[in-house]
Structure formats: structure tokens, C-alpha cells
Structure 1
Amino acid sequence: AEDKVPSTGAHDPYMHVFLDAGNGNVLAFFELPTQPDMDRDRNTPQWVQHIAFRVGSMDELMATKAHLEGMGLDVLGPTHHGIFKSIYFFDPNGHRIELAADIGTPEQMAQLKDVAQPMIEEWSATKKAPRHAAWLHEKIADES
């Protein structure tokens, strides 16, 4: 916590909080009590801007969903993505958070890795959704 911004010297009291995100990653958040409430980028669809975290299992995902709902948060999901299932919610500052539990097989992951580069190349050239991994969404439809 400081009263002045180290890089600019401007007076702007803040608390800088660092959270261990696992695997050597750190998330950093600021609380700025003298600034207006934070908001999201209105030029980007609400579902796009989010931070995703992996949880250990579907049981953990569902227990977390129940816990969040018990705290009064609106939680979307679980949403089936073929190789993982996710829940989504907004933190108190309006950041969208995704929690995801892996359900994919090693074979599915290998298939996706094999088509990743061709998909990126096709997308870059056409800006249309490549069909290299359409099997994943067809699998979801079959399970529904």
C-alpha cells in the first residue's frame, strides 16, 4: 500500500494485493479508494473479458458453485466445453471469473494439439471458424 504511485509520483492512495494463482503465476489487483468504481471495457462483449482457473475435479467445481451461490452470487453453468466444464461469475469489481474442471481424455487433448496450428492458420487467413475440431462440439450435442 502506498499514497503515491511509484512510477509517476502522483498522489493516489492504493492497496496492491497479490494472489498466488499456482504454477508460479501471480494475479495482482488494486483497490483505489479515491477513484471511481472500476468498470469493464464496453467495446468488448461481456463474456470475452475473463480470467480462467482450473479446479481439481467436477466435485470441486460443483462444491464451489454451491458455495458461491450460497454467498448470493449469480453463477452460470456448468457449461460443457467438451474437454472441460466451467462455471462463470463476476467478482465484486465486475471481473468475470471462470472456474474449469478438466473432463477430456489424453486422446482428445492429443487430437486438439495436432490441429491447433492448422486451425490458427485457417482462422488467420479467413476469420471464419475452422472445422478441424468440430467433433468436440458434436460430442457435446450427442451428450445433451
Structure 2
Amino acid sequence: MAIQRIHHVAYRCHDAKQTVEWYRDHLGMDFVLAIAEDQVPSTHAPDPYMHVFIDAGGGNILAFFELPNSPTMGRDEATPNWVQHIAFKVDSVAELEATKARLQAKGIDVVGVTDHTIFKSIYFFDPNGHRLELACDTNTPEMDRKLDDVKWDMLNEWAQTKRAPKHAAWMHEKELGQGTA
């Protein structure tokens, strides 16, 4: 079997129409499909829903379910809110900065621009409480090679110690102006 790409990623939303309009208005994503059923096709459970699909670019589809008969939507309280997020790639740092300014002008709180050495990003929440990230790659082939060379060593060390390995500490140091503090 060979996976071709992610077909879609689905999350829950409070209001399908509001969600579609928010992603269209703030991130320029097109609404591509709506499916509504009174019964879940896979389980046959009686649970009406609206399932909307939004074009996230590059063949990637972001989908949402509105479930009016389910308990109020929450989040996994055992997971910090910065962990679970959806990250979208943008073309340039200038686009990242312009988007940050546009979102802030519309009253959306934005964290960043955060420099991760191999990319820069901003963070904010959609109207459903899902954390979003916009990221712009700033990596070089040398950085990619260095990270590729140590990925298995890092993973194996983590698996044994549950402590952050230091193989890529250069990413967070001010070495030759490439790292971050």
C-alpha cells in the first residue's frame, strides 16, 4: 500500500456556517462540499450532522462536523492547548507578517512571529477553539541534512530517557545567526 496524501482531516465545530465563513474570510479557504445525514453511515447511529469540507490548498481538505444533538464541544483538558493544532504552510515571511497584521486588525489574538530556525510561524485560534498555525519554511539544505542525520538517534534516546536529546541544540542557539534563543 502507498498512501497518496491526506484525503481530509475532520474536527468538530460549534456552527458549520460560521466555521466555513471564518475560514473563507480570514484564511481565504474555499468551501467545497457539504454532506448532511440523519444517521452516521459507518455506525448507523441516529445522530444528525452537517459535515463541511474546506480547501486548505495543495489538495488538502479540512473538514468539520456540527453535531447539534451531542454534548457541548470541549477539548482534551489533559493536553496543553499548544500541542494539538493544525499548521498551514504559507509562501513567505512577508505573507506571514501581513496575515498576522490582518488577523490582529480583525480582533484575533496572534502569538508570534515565532522563529523555530527551520521555519517561522504564528499561532491563533479559530471560533471553535482549535489552535491554528501558519508557518513559513526558512530552512536550508544544510539544516535539513543535519536534522536528518540525527533524527533516529534523537528518537531512540528519547524512547529510553524521556529527556530532550541535545543532538539538534544548534537550532536554539545563536550559532552563526542561524539559531534562536
- Asked whether the two chains share a fold, i.e. TM above 0.5, the reply is yes
Cross-structure match for 1:110:
145
Maintained 8 Å contact 1:15/1:30: yes
Cross-structure match for 2:180:
140
SS in 1 for 2:124: strand
The TM-score with structure 1 as length reference comes to: 0.89
Displacement of 1:16 in angstroms is 0.8
Q: One-letter code of the match for 1:94? A: G
CA spacing shift, 1:37–1:91, aligned 2, 3 Å: farther
Q: Which runs of 5+ in 1 are unaligned?
A: none
Q: Would you say 1:73 and 2:113 are equivalent positions?
A: no
Q: Give the fraction of aligned pairs with identical amino acids, expressed as a percent.
A: 66
Displacement of 1:52 in angstroms is 1.1
Displacement of 1:95 in angstroms is 0.6
2-side partners of 1:6 and 1:78: how far apart? 42
Cross-structure match for 1:129:
164
Q: One-letter code of the match for 2:62? A: L
- Of residues 33-42 and 103-112 in structure 1, the stretch that sits farther from structure 2 once superposed is 33-42
1-side partners of 2:43 and 2:147: how far apart? 45
2-side partners of 1:68 and 1:32: how far apart? 28
Maintained 8 Å contact 1:2/1:15: yes
Maintained 8 Å contact 1:39/1:93: no
Q: One-letter code of the match for 1:97? A: L
SS in 2 for 1:136: helix
CA spacing shift, 1:71–1:36, aligned 2, 3 Å: farther
User: What are the within-5 Å matches in structure 2 for residues 1-144 of structure 1?
Assistant: 1-138=36-173, 139-141=179-181
2-side partners of 1:53 and 1:110: how far apart? 23
Maintained 8 Å contact 1:17/1:29: yes
Displacement of 1:130 in angstroms is 0.5
SS in 1 for 2:51: strand
Displacement of 1:23 in angstroms is 4.2
The TM-score with structure 2 as length reference comes to: 0.72
2-side partners of 1:33 and 1:61: how far apart? 35
Q: Which runs of 5+ in 2 are unaligned?
A: 1-35, 174-178
| Count of aligned positions | 141
1-side partners of 2:80 and 2:65: how far apart? 23
- Of residues 18-27 and 49-58 in structure 1, the stretch that sits farther from structure 2 once superposed is 18-27
- Of residues 49-58 and 7-16 in structure 1, the stretch that sits farther from structure 2 once superposed is 7-16
